[in-house]
Amino acid sequence: MLPRLGGVTETPAIATAPRPRTIRPQHVAPVALSAVAAATGGVLVGSDDAVTGVTLASLDVRPGDLFVGIRGAKQHGAAFSADAAERGAIAVLTDSEGAAYAQAAGLPAIVVASPREVLGAASALVYAFEEGHPALFAVTGTNGKTSTVHLLEGIAAALGETTGLSSTAERRIAGSVEVSGLTTPEASDMHALIAAMREQSVTVAAIEVSAQALSRHRVDGIRFDVAGFTNLSHDHFDDYGDFEVYFAQKALLFTPERARTGVVSLDSKWGAQIVARAGVPTTTIASLPDVGADWRVTTLEVAREGTRFRLVGPAGESLETAIPAIGAHHAANAGLAIVMLVAGGIPFPRIAAAIGGGRELPPLPGRTENVAGPGAPAVFVDFGHSPDAFAKTLDAVREVTAGKVIMVFGADGDRDKTKRADMAAEAVRRSDILVITDHHPRFEDPAAIRKALVLGAIEARPDAEIHVVSPPPRAIRVAVSLAGPDDSILWAGPGHQNYREIEGVKTAYSAREEARQALEEHGYMAKR
């Protein structure tokens, strides 16, 4: 069946999404510039003043800060030294090219060969990482990172710990919540966040660590207590080119400089390679039936409301619990979170007493989140944006659906184009009706992105029913109009996000709210 075309030209919405706030500690002991120079191997040019903060963004400068100027694609960050000085910057950490900007702004400079490569060391010193921090749990992998850190943080909270979290979705400290920007913030913000957690007496912190965080030095100066690995699948080839290079970045987390111990899922072939390459002790876990591992996750039931599973350890210890998200892959993420806590020193019986016995784990923001009420077709809003994520989530949706499965999705602009055809192929093969729309077009032509997805879908399944609808508010309404009470809609991509990025502007937007409105406009109830 040929695609049914529909849509309008999209222009950026008026309302802009809120800019993520940098979280910092309230009290920082001043650190001499000469000490920062020594820690970074830099040369101090100018007076030896003292700093109480570190930032890469001139708009985020606070009085007493060390402003970091890095050469960008279009201009040098140190060109904003005068702006930083007006906001109270004390000095600039930069390279020899940036030192001239610092001098023109009347600020002393610490001159190094590569400011980004020493940002972690400078931030660790200023924010006193070695003076104490919560137990730190890092999760890397392609899919499941955000879910695992949220589960880990939620379980730790159920144990009575004071918790912190940094994920693609949120930053949390002792119950307070802020919107996230990058999956893993820059090293200066990461160290500031950990220092703020220490100040708020956080005892357990779960941190999502992307491949970019490792290759771009965002977690330098941090040694995690436990590192976790979920899986590896096709993503970010625009940055890394192929699986081997991509994998090599993930594997960096499992070195003695970055972690004390590791917990590795063997559900993808790359897990065994992480174990073989790891320079730290590792514990293994698996949910696949024919894979040997120290710990095993068995899915017991998948329903619209969630997934019930059993976790069994090497000594026969076990617990049963449930997660309010559908699919065996979410059970695997939950198992990984539990075993990471065990590896971090929390006794398994204590965890089993808190979450076992039929209790349900905390909800996951934007992960197969059903926003439909009783009597309505299920509408699952999900953050998945890779071929593997599509495959696993659609299979899970199929398992809990009596009628048709309708898939709504778009692809990121200015990001990995090599995965678009595979995304479309997985989507069209595993759904009954496909609705292709937009996601974050950024500076790319959204029509060209949609066309690439359509071609990938038609090549994989020429007889498929495909609708091409832009913008997304129209797409979800078309999907709901095609659905009956026994059907399910999976809207993959936006998940928890509160914006869309169009031509450099992050416009306020909630897929969850849009889906609720679409249901109500068609006479159904929505969860609110």
Q: Per the domain annotation, does 180 fall within a domain?
A: yes
- My answer on whether 341 and 207 are in the same domain is yes
**Could you give the CA distance from residue 178 to residue 181 in angstroms, rounded to a whole number?**
10
pLDDT at residue 156 above 60? yes
**Could you give the CA distance from residue 391 to residue 101 in angstroms, rounded to a whole number?**
51
**Could you give the CA distance from residue 317 to residue 295 in angstroms, rounded to a whole number?**
10
- My answer on whether 434 and 500 are in the same domain is yes
Taking residue 522's Cβ as centre, other Cβ atoms within 10 Å add up to 13
pLDDT digits (tens, 9 = 90+) for 170-196: 888 988 877 666 667 899 999 999 999
pLDDT given for residue 414 in this prediction: 86
- My answer on whether 113 and 82 are in the same domain is yes
Domain boundary among 301, 323, 355: 355
How much is the average pLDDT of 260-268? 97
Q: Per the domain annotation, does 26 fall within a domain?
A: no
Q: Which residues contact 269 (CB under 8 A, 6 or more apart)?
A: none
- My answer on whether 76 and 139 are in the same domain is no
Q: What is the 3-state secondary structure (H, E, C) of 436-497?
A: ECCCCCECCCHHHHHHHHHHHHHHHCCCCEEEEEECHHHHHHHHHHCCCCCCEEEEECCCCC
Is 76 exposed, middle or buried, given 0-12, 13-18 or 19+ CB atoms closer than 10 A?
middle
pLDDT digits (tens, 9 = 90+) for 79-104: 999 999 999 999 999 999 999 999 99
pLDDT at residue 293 above 70? yes
pLDDT given for residue 415 in this prediction: 87
Q: How far is CA 378 from CA 247, 432, 472, 498, in A?
A: 36, 15, 18, 21
pLDDT at residue 384 above 90? no
Between strands 31-32 and 50-51, the pairing is antiparallel
Cis amide linkage into residue 471, ω under 30° from 0:
yes
pLDDT at residue 485 above 50? yes
Locus of tokens 């070195």: 255
Q: Per the domain annotation, does 24 fall within a domain?
A: no
How much is the average pLDDT of 508-519? 94
Q: Which two tokens stand for residue 38?
A: 């020594």
From 70-74, 83-87, 160-164, the region with the lowest mean pLDDT: 70-74
User: What value, to the nearest 5°, has the Cα angle with vertex 105 and ends 100 and 110?
Assistant: 55
Alpha-carbon Rg for the chain, nearest whole angstrom, is: 24
Q: Which amino acid is at 109?
A: A
What's the number of domains the chain is made of?
Answer: 3
Distance of CA 242 to the CA centre of its chain: 21
Residue 80 φ/ψ, nearest 5 degrees: -95, 15
pLDDT at residue 132 above 60? yes
Taking residue 345's Cβ as centre, other Cβ atoms within 10 Å add up to 10
How much is the average pLDDT of 9-38? 76
pLDDT given for residue 240 in this prediction: 62
Under the banding of pLDDT at 50, 70 and 90, the label for residue 10 is very low
Q: Per the domain annotation, does 1 fall within a domain?
A: no
pLDDT given for residue 182 in this prediction: 61
**Could you give the CA distance from residue 467 to residue 483 in angstroms, rounded to a whole number?**
13
pLDDT given for residue 81 in this prediction: 98
Residue 323 φ/ψ, nearest 5 degrees: -125, 135
pLDDT given for residue 1 in this prediction: 47
pTM over cut 0.95: no
How much is the average pLDDT of 404-419? 93
- My answer on whether 160 and 307 are in the same domain is yes
How much is the average pLDDT of 273-297? 96
**Could you give the CA distance from residue 257 to residue 2 in angstroms, rounded to a whole number?**
55
pLDDT at residue 11 above 60? no
- My answer on whether 304 and 431 are in the same domain is no
**Could you give the CA distance from residue 355 to residue 221 in angstroms, rounded to a whole number?**
34
User: Whole-number mean pLDDT of the chain?
Assistant: 92
| Closest among 131, 19, 125 to 66, alpha carbons compared | 125
pLDDT given for residue 259 in this prediction: 98
pLDDT given for residue 235 in this prediction: 67
Q: Which amino acid is at 522?
A: H
Q: Per the domain annotation, does 79 fall within a domain?
A: yes
pLDDT at residue 233 above 90? no
Q: Which residues contact 244 (CB under 8 A, 6 or more apart)?
A: none
Q: Per the domain annotation, does 3 fall within a domain?
A: no
- My answer on whether 515 and 454 are in the same domain is yes
Q: Per the domain annotation, does 145 fall within a domain?
A: yes
pLDDT at residue 281 above 70? yes
How much is the average pLDDT of 67-81? 95
How much is the average pLDDT of 116-137? 97
- My answer on whether 298 and 446 are in the same domain is no
In the chain, what are the helix, strand and coil shares in percent, each to the nearest 5? Answer: 35, 25, 40
CATH number for the domain harbouring residue 163: 3.40.1190.10
How much is the average pLDDT of 140-160? 93
- Domain around 172: 129-355
How much is the average pLDDT of 250-267? 96
Under the banding of pLDDT at 50, 70 and 90, the label for residue 22 is confident
pLDDT given for residue 180 in this prediction: 63
- My answer on whether 245 and 303 are in the same domain is yes
- My answer on whether 98 and 194 are in the same domain is no
Tell me how many helices (H) and strands (E) the chain has.
17, 27
Q: Which two tokens stand for residue 45?
A: 């040019």
How much is the average pLDDT of 325-353? 96
- My answer on whether 162 and 141 are in the same domain is yes
pLDDT at residue 36 above 70? yes
Domain boundary among 304, 332, 355: 355
How much is the average pLDDT of 402-429? 94
CATH number for the domain harbouring residue 485: 3.90.190.20
Q: What is the DSSP string of 326-371?
A: -SHHHHHHHHHHHHHHHHTT--HHHHHHHH-TT-BPPP-TTSSEE-
pLDDT at residue 289 above 90? no
Residue 248 φ/ψ, nearest 5 degrees: -60, -35
Q: Per the domain annotation, does 19 fall within a domain?
A: no
Q: What percent of the chain has pLDDT over 90?
A: 76
Locus of tokens 């080119």: 241
- My answer on whether 136 and 82 are in the same domain is no
How much is the average pLDDT of 478-506? 91
